[in-house]
Structure 1
Amino acid sequence: MSDFERELGWDDEIEKDGSDFILLPEGDYDFAVESFERGRHNGSEKLPACNKAMLKLRIDTPDGTALINHNLFLHTKTEGMISAFFTSIGQKKKGEKIKMNWNAVIGAKGRCKVGIHEWTGTDGEKRQGNDIKKFYPFEEKKFEAGKF
Structure 2
Amino acid sequence: MNNENEFLGWGDSFIAEESSFTLLPAGEYPFTVTGFERKIYDGNSTKIQNGTPYAEIEMEFTGAEGTTKVIDRLYMVKKWQWKLTQFFTGIGQAPIIGQPFAPNWGTVVGSRGRAKLVVNKYTSSKTGKENENNQIDEYLVPTANNGVVTQPQQPVQPTQSQQGGFQPGAF
Which TM class, normalised by the smaller chain length?
A: 0.7 to 0.9
Give the superposition deviation at 1:42: 2.1
> 1:109–1:143: 8 Å Cα contact kept in structure 2?
no
After TM superposition, the structure 1 = structure 2 runs for residues 1-148 of structure 1, keeping only pairs within 5 Å, are 17-42=17-42, 44-48=45-49, 49-95=51-97, 96-121=99-124, 122-143=126-147
Corresponding letter in the other structure for 2:27? G
Query: For residues 16 and 101 of structure 2, what CA distance do their matches in structure 1 show?
Result: 38
Secondary structure at 1:85's aligned position in 2?
A: helix
Tell me if the contact between 1:51 and 1:74 (Cα under 8 Å) persists in the aligned partners: yes
The alpha carbon displacement at 1:92 in A equals: 1.4
Aligned-partner SS, 1:45: coil
- 1:9, 1:19 → 2: CA distance? 18
Q: Give, as a single letter, the amino acid of the residue that structure 2 aligns with 1:50.
A: T
The answer to which structure has the higher helix fraction is 1
Question: What percentage of residue pairs aligned between the two structures are identical?
Answer: 26
Preserved contact between residue 90 and residue 140 of structure 1 (Cα < 8 Å) = no
Cα deviation, 1:25-51, whole Å, max 9, x if unaligned, reads 001111110111111112621121311
Q: Is the 8 A contact 1:26 1:116 kept in 2?
A: yes
Separation of aligned partners in 2, 1:27 and 1:47:
28
TM-superposed CA distance for 1:125, in Å, is 1.2
Give the Cα separation in 2 of the matches to 1:16 and 1:85: 36
Q: TM-score w.r.t. structure 2 length?
A: 0.71
When structure 1 is superposed on structure 2, of 87-96 and 51-60 the one drifting more is 87-96
Shift in alpha-carbon separation, 1:16–1:24, aligned structure 2, 3 A: farther
What's the TM-score, normalizing by structure 1?
A: 0.81
Unpaired segments ≥5 residues, structure 1: none
- For 2:134 and 2:149, how far apart are their aligned partners in 1? 28
TM superposition shift of 1:9: 9.6
| Distance in 1 of aligned mates of 2:117 and 2:27 | 5
Cα displacement (A) at 1:52 = 0.8
Residue 145 of structure 1: how far off its partner (Å): 9.7
